[in-house]
Homo-oligomer: A and B are copies of this chain.
């Protein structure tokens, strides 16, 4: 069976180079214009432990890591075990394994019910013989896979050359030889009995990026020139990127002593007039919560990226979840207004970065961006011209409004205005001197404990929400307008939801979905309109307690229609079939 969509899983130990192989594979795909997607996963070992990757290649636009793994490349069954829970296998599954692994057929750690077609290849042997080093095992595997399933082999060779371009020609040659040995072995020794065959039409190369890179790049593009952070998985790549790039563009990246200092430095820079941001995760965002309240009170524009991981507490730092939503919405004491916005795919991380800076600068408010490990650390392709034109056509960059001549006569930093936004001075601007404060204050910024002033200022700070909601209310909708059953999700779940809806529609089910990009202020009108035709609505999210579900119930009028929760704890992202099967039940 020819197909233009294939999901390949690989597992082995650190030395097996599983993740490198995956990277070469997606890079090869991208260079031949194939849509590619890659997830990696590691065991607890710091280095040299088990690792796995899942690669999806497709001729058509893809939105997720896909679903069941069709092809499994195994260096060691023992290493695979660690990933059993997250790698759901297709039935039948095609397996390429190193014949050096002597696990008996009966002990292979996959579900008994799943049919399997197994090709044993002396991978280690070939690597040693043909490339002279066991390190080339992954190249042999790539050769085998490529030959067996028709992967973009020219791209593969290119990608290998690029990967080792800083090494000697010798290294490149021996890796290419190893790949070739794998392919030759297939041609000479293997009788293909499975039906998996990838077919694709080469096209213009695609961009291949990780979400964290896309976000950092978007921030730079938006004019961010100050970033402070403290390393934390899975967000560190953002500060590392910033640390390399910002100094080139007259910017500053500081590694602070902790997250309290990171957000403090960002607050200082924002007060000083710079577009500033920090990125963190898990524990880090909780530590920042006090000063997020300060930014809210002092109406400072800044952007805080939270690449969510599995929680609570330290949780599982290397895995994903969507359970920091409530923390983003409410995680500080007092009525502290802020904006929360969530990217839905890698390319969207760029767009959302641009929008986050736009909103924060224009409305003088902290903007929290909710990405997650699934989004931040996956590799995904998109078209070359997609980046600088966002899905919702929004790619504006601005700088905050400063007070002008007249304002400066008796400068009121927190002047009551219709929109709630007051022109903002910063050190260096003559006559703009004022005192910023976490204390409640009057229009000039001076502390007050007056009951009425507190009421008025609170109202001012929240007034912005209406204006923001008018300007930014992007929601992704999928499926027919007259659907009966709807799915609402957010952030990184978009991919699985979108694909599930497509599949359901293809199968004749009247189902639609809505994925809001901005979560606070919420695009209420659009969502209420979306609800109109629906009888049943599912809220799908990777949070056991159903944080999004509770949030939506807080203000959306669901009326009589049935509201269902598809909420589960995270660590593994949604599979397409999970959403598909859940929603399909409605029609049974």
- A334 CB-CB contact with B under 8 Å: yes
- Nearest B residue to A308, CB-CB: B333
* Residue A298 is within 8 A (CB to CB) of chain B in the complex: yes
A14 close to B (CB within 8 Å): no
List of B residues within 8 angstroms of A334 by Cβ: 282, 310-313, 315, 321, 323-324, 327
Contacts of A282 in B (CB 8 A): 333-334
A439 in the interface (beta carbon within 8 A): yes
Q: Given the complex, which residues of B lie within 8 Å of A293, measured CB to CB?
A: 283, 286, 311-313
Task: Report whether B438 and A333 are in contact in the complex, using a CB–CB cutoff of 8 Å.
Answer: no
Q: Which residues of B contact A298 (CB under 8 A)?
A: 313
Contacts A85-B451, A316-B440 given: A335-B545 contact, CB under 8 Å? yes
A316: which of B454, B543, B554 is its contact (CB, 8 Å)? B454
| Residue of B86, B289, B459, B555 touching A553 (CB-CB under 8 A) | B555
User: Is residue A336 contacting chain B, with contact meaning CB distance below 8 A?
Assistant: yes
Contact A455 B314 (CB under 8 A): no
Choose the segment among A122-130, A206-214, A223-231, A567-575 that binds chain B (4+ C-beta atoms closer than 8 Å). A567-575
Tell whether A332 pairs with B286 under 8 Å between CB atoms, given A312-B296, A569-B458.
yes
B85 near A452 with CB under 8 A, answer yes
Q: Are A316 and B550 neighbours in the complex by a CB distance under 8 Å?
A: no
Q: Mark A141-163, 1 if CB is under 8 A from B, else 0.
A: 00000000000000000000000
Within 8 Å of chain B (Cβ to Cβ): is A202? no
Known: A290-B283, A333-B282, A554-B553. A569 touches B315 (CB 8 A): no
Q: Is A434 an interface residue (CB 8 A)?
A: no
What is the number of residues of chain A that contact chain B, defined by CB distance less than 8 Å? 70
The complex places the Cα of A83 from the Cα of B555 at a distance, in Å, of 36
Q: B312 and A332: CB pair below 8 A?
A: yes
B335 with A85: CB separation less than 8 A: no
CA A568 – CA B458 in complex, angstroms? 10
Partner of A440, one of B294, B315, B437, B447: B315
Say if the beta carbon of A544 comes within 8 Å of chain B.
yes
A to B CB contacts below 8 Å, 12 in the list: A293-B313, A294-B313, A298-B313, A310-B454, A311-B333, A312-B334, A314-B440, A315-B438, A324-B333, A335-B545, A454-B571, A459-B544
User: Within 8 Å of chain B (Cβ to Cβ): is A318?
Assistant: yes
Contact residues, A306-346 vs B (CB, 8 A): 306, 308, 310-316, 318-319, 321, 323-324, 326-327, 329-337
**Is A287 an interface position by the 8 A CB rule?**
yes
Check: A285 CB closer than 8 A to any chain B CB. yes
Pairwise interchain contact A312-B336, C-beta atoms closer than 8 A: yes
Contacts of A78 in B (CB 8 A): none
Q: Which 3 A-B pairs have the closest CB atoms?
A: A311-B334, A312-B334, A313-B438
Show the binding face of A for B, using Cβ within 8 Å.
43-44, 85-86, 282-283, 285-287, 289-290, 293-294, 296-298, 306, 308, 310-316, 318-319, 321, 323-324, 326-327, 329-337, 437-440, 447-452, 454-455, 458-459, 462, 543-545, 547, 550-551, 553-555, 568-572
**In the complex, how many angstroms separate the beta carbon of A548 from the nearest chain B beta carbon?**
11
- Write out the residue numbers on chain B whose beta carbons fall within 8 Å of the beta carbon of A314: 294, 297, 437-440
Inter-chain contact A290/B290, CB cutoff 8 Å: no
**Chain B hits for A450, CB < 8 A:** 85, 571
Query: Quick one: closest B residue to A42, CB to CB?
Result: B449
Tell me if A332 and B335 are in contact (CB < 8 A): no
B544 and A458 form a contact (CB under 8 A): yes
A445 to chain B, nearest CB (A): 13
Of B44, B452, B545, B553, the residue contacting A447 (CB under 8 A) is B44
What's the Cα separation between A452 and B310 when bound, in Å?
A: 13
**Which chain B residues lie closer than 8 Å to A319 at the CB level?**
449, 451, 454
